[in-house]
């Protein structure tokens, strides 16, 4: 899809093509949808008008006519414009042709038929264009303060957010990738996680990248009939300056790492994993049950043993259905399994007694890879804290039985913040105890409620499921899903997650 550089060069070519200041005397429309569906009404309205000026706003070619009429032309996926002598052979994919009194024709060529040229009054056109975001080349408006106001606190990933034309006008898939590479920002980062210095780098990168592309005539990625060409016949050479877009599997021109291609919001995204780490963190917030310690396994076995005392045999899969659920949802499931033979309260109390006996004899197992991960954090002087919805008394006991209580200076528990429910406030409080903001922290969780709360707090939330597979909702909420804690350790060692003190 033509983006700002291609549209800007198109407009510049048209301004020099000899059609500005001349009157339209004929129209040919081979695809009525290109002009809104009613070819006769379009032709009746535009014939006799004089083209007063041609400008650009975002990705729109703005045709200003006399008689209070404005044409807004969007090239969409495959549109391009050319100026040809009247009577010359029409192209197979010419959808709209405007004939001028000077003997020239403006032809709208659009193989995929997505482009549109629609007519509005000046007031109507202004209303449409006012909805667009800031123009990158307007230095008075495209400032750190303006962009920070538009993106700060937003939970959307930064690449899809930049493609929103209400944020930055004219930026598309190619130059969003290139701008993020220039600024050293991973495309999957949430806008809320960006620091002021990173937003400042992005504000500098966008007009720089677009300026280079405009100077190169834009970017054409091939020789097919749907690839972009300029009205004057000039070639678009911007592809030679691309650093990441379309270069998956090749090496980064800055550091030599392999360029990666992924998909975000159904659009491709290209980045360098070394130059654009997926997170820049100042601290780590860890959940407890399931994430660091294997308490859930003990509780499941104990509940099964307790139920057996009343003659009930509960299958593993039935009890696993409670993992990752809220307390109310888990209670409902267990009540259904117990039926009328024993109350939930009675069976739970007995299960707690059995679990306490097991823990007293065997302690609580730490999750594989946890010790190495905490050692890596200590080696890098990365501060870390416990952020759990578990009550304080239970948390202190479990951490002590697992042999890791002394490793944490800060422990924030659910009963102190949210009555035991996973919530963003737990992560904000834990980060504050480290002297940080949650958006500058890595949060590690094993459940859907926890990962959603961590993400809502703005943390870079990594989901490491323990006993059950994550739901689609949990996967969407997580910045990344890992199988083991060891994978997170490797992300630190490889530089995919970097520490900024």
Q: What is the Cα–Cα distance from 399 to 445, expressed in whole angstroms? A: 16
Of the residues 12, 56, 57, 59, only one is catalytic, namely: 59
Q: Give DSSP secondary structure letters for 66-77.
A: STTEEEEEE-TT
d(Cα 13, Cα 300) in Å, to the nearest integer?
71
Look at the block and give the residue holding tokens 């039985």. 401
Residue 3 falls in the annotated catalytic set: yes
Residue 126's CB is within 10 A of a number of other CB atoms, namely 12
d(CA 327, CA 422): 10
Spatial distance between the Cα atoms of 330 and 320, rounded to a whole number of angstroms: 10
Q: Which long-range contacts (CB under 8 A, 24 or more apart) does 220-227 make?
A: 221/246, 225/93, 225/111, 226/77, 226/78, 226/111, 226/112, 227/78
Q: Is the dihedral of CA 488, 493, 498, 500 positive or negative?
A: positive
Q: How far apart are CA 218 and CA 10, in angstroms?
A: 9
Please report, to the nearest 10 degrees, the dihedral formed by the alpha carbons of residues 65, 69, 74, 79 taken in order. -50
**Strand arrangement, sheet containing 94-100:** 24-29, 94-100, 104-109, 80-85
**Is 48 in contact with 23 (CB distance < 8 Å)?**
yes
- Would the CA dihedral through 154, 159, 161, 162 be positive or negative? positive
Q: Where are the alpha helices (DSSP H) in 192-236?
A: 196-215
Residue pointed to by tokens 């972009």? 228
Rg (CA), the chain: 30
Could you tell me the two tokens for 50? Answer: 């004089």
In sequence order, which residues have a C-beta less than 8 Å from that of residue 74 and are 6 or more positions away?
Answer: 59, 60, 61, 115, 116
Give the pairing type, strands 116-121 and 260-264.
unpaired
Per the annotation, the verdict on 394 as an active-site residue is: no
Tell me, yes or no, if 59 is annotated catalytic: yes
Active site residue 372: no
> Are 95 and 108 in contact, with CB atoms under 8 Å apart?
yes
Check 254, 267, 274, 325 and give the catalytic one.
Answer: 267
Q: Which residues are the active-site residues?
A: 2-3, 59, 267
């Amino acid at each position: 899809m033509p983006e700002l550089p291609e549209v800007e060069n198109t407009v510049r070519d048209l301004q020099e093509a000899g059609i500005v200041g001349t009157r339209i005397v004929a129209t040919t429309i081979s695809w009525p949808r290109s002009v809104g569906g009613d070819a006769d009404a379009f032709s009746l309205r535009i014939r006799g008008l004089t083209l007063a000026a041609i400008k650009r706003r975002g990705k729109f070619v703005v045709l200003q006519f006399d008689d209070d009429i404005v044409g807004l032309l969007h090239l969409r996926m495959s549109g391009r414009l050319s100026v040809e002598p009247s009577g010359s052979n029409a192209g197979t994919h010419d959808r709209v042709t405007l004939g001028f009194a000077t003997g020239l024709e403006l032809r709208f060529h659009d193989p995929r038929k997505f482009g549109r040229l629609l007519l509005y009054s000046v007031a109507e056109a202004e209303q449409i264009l006012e909805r667009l975001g800031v123009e990158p080349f307007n230095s008075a408006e495209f400032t750190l303060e303006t962009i920070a106001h538009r993106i700060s606190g937003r939970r959307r990933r930064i690449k899809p957010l930049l493609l929103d034309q209400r944020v930055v006008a004219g930026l598309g898939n190619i130059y969003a990738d290139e701008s993020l590479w220039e600024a050293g920002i991973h495309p999957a980062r949430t806008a809320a996680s960006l620091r002021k210095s990173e937003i400042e780098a992005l504000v500098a990168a966008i007009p720089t990248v677009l300026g280079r592309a405009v100077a190169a005539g834009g970017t054409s990625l091939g020789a097919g009939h749907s690839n972009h060409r300029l009205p004057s016949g000039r070639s678009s050479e911007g592809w030679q300056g691309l650093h990441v877009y379309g270069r998956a599997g090749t090496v980064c021109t800055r550091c030599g790492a392999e360029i990666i291609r992924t998909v975000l919001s159904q659009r491709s995204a290209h980045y360098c994993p070394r130059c654009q780490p997926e997170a820049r963190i100042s601290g780590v917030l860890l959940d407890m049950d399931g994430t660091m310690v294997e308490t859930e396994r003990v509780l499941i076995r104990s509940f099964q043993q307790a139920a057996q005392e009343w003659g009930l045999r509960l299958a593993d899969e039935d009890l696993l259905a409670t993992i990752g659920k809220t307390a109310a949802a888990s209670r409902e499931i267990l009540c259904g399994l117990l039926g009328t033979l024993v109350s939930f309260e009675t069976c739970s109390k007995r299960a707690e007694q059995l679990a306490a006996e097991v823990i007293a004899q065997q302690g609580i197992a730490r999750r594989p890879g946890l010790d190495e991960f905490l050692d890596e954090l200590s080696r890098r002087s990365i501060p870390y804290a416990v952020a759990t919805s578990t009550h304080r008394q239970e948390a202190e006991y479990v951490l002590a039985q697992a042999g890791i209580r002394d490793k944490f200076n800060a422990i924030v528990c659910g009963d102190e913040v949210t009555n035991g429910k996973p919530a963003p406030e737990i992560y904000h409080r834990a980060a504050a105890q480290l002297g940080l903001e949650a958006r500058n922290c890595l949060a590690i969780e094993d459940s859907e409620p926890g990962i959603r709360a961590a993400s809502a707090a703005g943390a870079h939330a990594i989901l490491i499921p323990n006993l059950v597979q994550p739901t689609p909702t949990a996967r969407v909420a997580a910045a990344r899903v890992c199988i083991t804690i060891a994978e997170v350790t490797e992300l630190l060692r490889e530089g995919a997650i970097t520490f900024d003190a």
